[in-house]
């Protein structure tokens, strides 16, 4: 049997916790967890990830492997034609340009011509430019629109509560409640490709997909009532994704699908490596969560040394507080820039997962699951052979994406950065004529 004295101590303890928690909320000392800080860092810009970046890189490698001829394209504005006009944002065409740039970073297989009547100043400058004859009129155009938005196609909520009446003279009651909710919103995008010369849309070269974004919430409450005093402790957490995030995902998938069909490539292999819940990504996340900070730092440090981002004489830490050394931080930022994973000069989950997948790419690539040989020529051909097939004899051009290939024995020991665009004749005006 619980004695009254022990019950009063328990009630006093719970009240103290509630008051302390309330003061903590009042003083705004609620902080982000490690995972939340990596996703919503208020201190450093982070990449607007959709989980489809790997698919764009796969297409870039496939363009290089097939030695495709470049295409010159432009795009009409991509408006929102739904009744919720503007709910998914207005930057669809700029999202498309970013996706095409990522998808052709090394192959330069798609040249976007940014002719737009909404920029008369640029058009006027082009008309007076001494090299205006070098303008390459695009052969293809992309047309599309946001066609469907459903702000509440599905929702789900669960909760429970427990209440206790008077249990003692000084305690008149207590209660606890908990609840959680999930709701979805969907956005649909239609894209097609047509010929500039005839305004005719190409049959079968289209993309029509729908994507869902979620909104989650959870809350807990604890209350105690005494004869002369009472207390309530509340905690809640809500997370919502904007429809524009779904639109960006649809744009990137659409870019893979459109140009895979236009070039006649097995683009579905690149769709197989997209998504945030792939087994290899989850495995990398599990290692990141299980390992301590020192082991994670050592793993990344060793990778940077192996890939010649760091010299073998570089140190991992500096000072008594074991801060990352300046060469280590610089190498991290260089790797981030090449992988297009934004963030600070530190190691987070996204960067670690990219490194883990690259180190274990043979086992982690979906193209190799259940097969002796991968499907894509971008994986079959080693980088040196692919370089020769694409017409380049210099292994330091840096135009090969090895994110899905195995290391090549005898490769140059020094890592070479990709050359700037002005030194590559294949991406100069009129080079496709």
> What digits encode the pLDDT tens for the residues 337-360?
777 777 788 898 888 988 888 887
What is the pLDDT confidence band of residue 416, given thresholds at 50, 70 and 90? very low
Distance (Å, rounded) from C-alpha 143 to C-alpha 206? 10
386 Cβ partners below 8 Å, 6+ apart?
64, 65, 378, 400
Do 310 and 199 share a domain, yes or no? no
Do 241 and 315 share a domain, yes or no? no
Say if CB 345 and CB 325 are below 8 A apart.
Answer: no
Is residue 273 in some structural domain?
Answer: no
Do 194 and 287 share a domain, yes or no? no
Most confident of 131-135, 227-231, 324-328, 367-371: 324-328
Do 251 and 312 share a domain, yes or no? no
Is residue 387 in some structural domain?
Answer: yes
Distance (Å, rounded) from C-alpha 183 to C-alpha 181? 7
What is the pLDDT confidence band of residue 260, given thresholds at 50, 70 and 90? very high
Of residues 104, 108, 102, 103, the one with CA closest to residue 340 = 102
**Does the pLDDT at position 12 exceed 90?**
no
Domain count, the chain: 2
- Looking at 202, 236, 264, which one is the last position of a domain? 264
Do 245 and 385 share a domain, yes or no? no
Q: What does the pLDDT read at residue 341?
A: 74
Is residue 287 in some structural domain?
Answer: yes
Q: pLDDT tens digits for 30-47?
A: 777 766 666 666 666 655
Is residue 190 in some structural domain?
Answer: yes
57 Cβ partners below 8 Å, 6+ apart?
102, 103, 105, 401, 403, 404
**Does the pLDDT at position 155 exceed 60?**
yes
**Does the pLDDT at position 8 exceed 80?**
no
pTM exceeds 0.75, yes or no: no
Q: What does the pLDDT read at residue 96?
A: 94
Is residue 49 in some structural domain?
Answer: no
Is residue 53 in some structural domain?
Answer: no
357 Cβ partners below 8 Å, 6+ apart?
54, 280, 281, 284, 364
Do 255 and 360 share a domain, yes or no? no
Distance (Å, rounded) from C-alpha 212 to C-alpha 40? 20
Is residue 109 in some structural domain?
Answer: yes
**Does the pLDDT at position 243 exceed 50?**
yes
**Does the pLDDT at position 128 exceed 70?**
yes
Q: What is the per-residue DSSP string for 188-225?
A: EEEEEEEETTT-PEEEEEEEEEEEEEEEEEEEEEEEEE
What is the pLDDT confidence band of residue 175, given thresholds at 50, 70 and 90? confident
Do 283 and 148 share a domain, yes or no? no
Distance (Å, rounded) from C-alpha 399 to C-alpha 289? 34
The helix (run of H) or strand (run of E) holding residue 154 is strand 140-164
Say if CB 375 and CB 368 are below 8 A apart.
Answer: no
Is residue 30 in some structural domain?
Answer: no
Distance (Å, rounded) from C-alpha 69 to C-alpha 270? 20
Do 340 and 241 share a domain, yes or no? no
Q: In the chain, how many H helices and how many E strands?
A: 14, 8
Q: What does the pLDDT read at residue 230?
A: 79
Of residues 267 and 19, more confidence is placed in 267
What is the pLDDT confidence band of residue 417, given thresholds at 50, 70 and 90? very low
Q: What does the pLDDT read at residue 361?
A: 67
User: Which range, of 4-8, 44-48, 274-278, 366-370, averages the lowest pLDDT?
Assistant: 366-370
Do 111 and 240 share a domain, yes or no? yes
Q: pLDDT tens digits for 319-338?
A: 888 899 999 999 998 888 77
Do 161 and 260 share a domain, yes or no? yes
168 lies in which domain range? 69-264
Q: What percent of the chain has pLDDT over 90?
A: 27
* DSSP one-letter code for 422: G
**Does the pLDDT at position 79 exceed 70?**
yes
What is the pLDDT confidence band of residue 100, given thresholds at 50, 70 and 90? very high
> If you average pLDDT over every residue of the chain, what do you get?
75
Please compute the mean of the pLDDT values over residues 68-87 and round it to a whole number. Answer: 89
Q: What does the pLDDT read at residue 312?
A: 87
Do 159 and 198 share a domain, yes or no? yes
């Amino acid at each position: 049997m619980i004695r009254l004295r022990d019950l009063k101590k328990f009630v006093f303890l719970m009240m103290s916790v509630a008051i302390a928690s309330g003061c903590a909320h009042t003083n705004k000392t609620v902080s982000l967890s490690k995972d939340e800080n990596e996703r919503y860092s208020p201190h450093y810009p982070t990449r607007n990830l959709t989980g489809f970046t790997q698919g764009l890189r796969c297409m870039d490698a496939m363009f290089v492997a097939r030695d495709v001829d470049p295409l010159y394209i432009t795009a009409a504005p991509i408006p929102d034609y739904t009744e919720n006009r503007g709910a998914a944002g207005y930057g669809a065409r700029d999202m498309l340009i970013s996706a095409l740039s990522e998808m052709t970073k090394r192959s330069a297989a798609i040249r976007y011509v940014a002719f737009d009547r909404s920029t008369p100043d640029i058009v006027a400058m082009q008309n007076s430019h001494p090299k205006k004859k070098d303008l390459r009129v695009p052969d293809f155009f992309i047309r599309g629109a946001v066609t469907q938005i459903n702000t509440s196609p599905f929702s789900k909520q669960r909760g429970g509560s427990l209440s206790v009446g008077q249990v003692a003279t000084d305690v008149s009651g207590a209660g606890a409640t908990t609840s959680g909710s999930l709701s979805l919103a969907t956005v649909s995008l239609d894209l097609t490709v047509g010929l500039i010369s005839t305004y005719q849309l190409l049959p079968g070269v289209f993309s029509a997909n729908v994507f869902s974004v979620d909104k989650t919430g959870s809350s807990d409450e604890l209350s105690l009532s005494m004869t002369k005093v009472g207390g309530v402790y509340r905690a809640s957490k809500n997370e919502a994704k904007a429809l524009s995030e779904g639109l960006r995902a649809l744009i990137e998938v659409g870019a893979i699908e459109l140009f895979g069909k236009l070039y006649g490539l097995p683009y579905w292999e690149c769709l197989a490596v997209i998504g945030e819940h792939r087994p290899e990504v989850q495995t990398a996340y599990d290692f990141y969560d299980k390992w301590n900070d020192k082991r994670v730092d050592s793993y990344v440090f060793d990778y940077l040394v192996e890939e010649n981002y760091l010299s073998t004489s570089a140190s991992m830490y500096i000072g008594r507080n074991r801060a990352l050394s300046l060469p280590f931080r610089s190498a991290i930022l260089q790797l981030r820039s090449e992988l297009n994973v934004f963030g600070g000069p530190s190691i987070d989950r996204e960067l670690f997962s990219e490194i883990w997948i690259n180190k274990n790419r043979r086992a982690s690539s979906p193209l190799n699951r259940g097969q002796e040989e991968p499907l894509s020529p971008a994986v079959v051909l080693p980088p040196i052979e692919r370089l020769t097939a694409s017409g380049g004899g210099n292994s330091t051009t840096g135009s090969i994406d090895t994110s899905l290939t195995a290391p090549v024995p005898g490769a140059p020991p020094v890592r070479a950065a990709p050359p700037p665009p002005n030194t590559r004749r294949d991406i100069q005006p009129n080079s496709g004529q």
